[in-house]
């Protein structure tokens, strides 16, 4: 039996504040930045699909 899958704990205090800052940074990204991130991911996926076929 492998170790159980850990539960994600509730963030408190400074951790909660830090998480909210990171969350807001992403929520404030421009559409152009999001499109750029997606383009980068799609290029990486295209490369991976050169040798991996998804059969799901």
Residues in contact with another protein by CB under 8 A are: 1-3, 5-6, 8-24, 26-27, 29, 31, 34-35, 37-38, 41-42, 44-45, 47-49, 51-56
Q: How far is the CB of 9 from another protein (least distance, A)?
A: 8
Q: What angle do CA 33, 37, 39 make, to 5 degrees?
A: 115
Cα separation, 42 vs 44, whole angstroms: 5
The CB-of-8 to another protein minimum distance in angstroms stands at: 5
Least distance between another protein and beta carbon 46 (Å): 9
């Amino acid at each position: 039996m492998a170790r159980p899958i850990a539960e994600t704990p509730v963030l408190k205090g400074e951790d909660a504040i830090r998480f909210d800052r990171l969350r807001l940074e992403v929520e404030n990204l421009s559409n152009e930045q999001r499109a750029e991130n997606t383009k980068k991911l799609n290029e990486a996926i295209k490369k991976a699909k050169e040798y991996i076929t998804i059969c799901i």
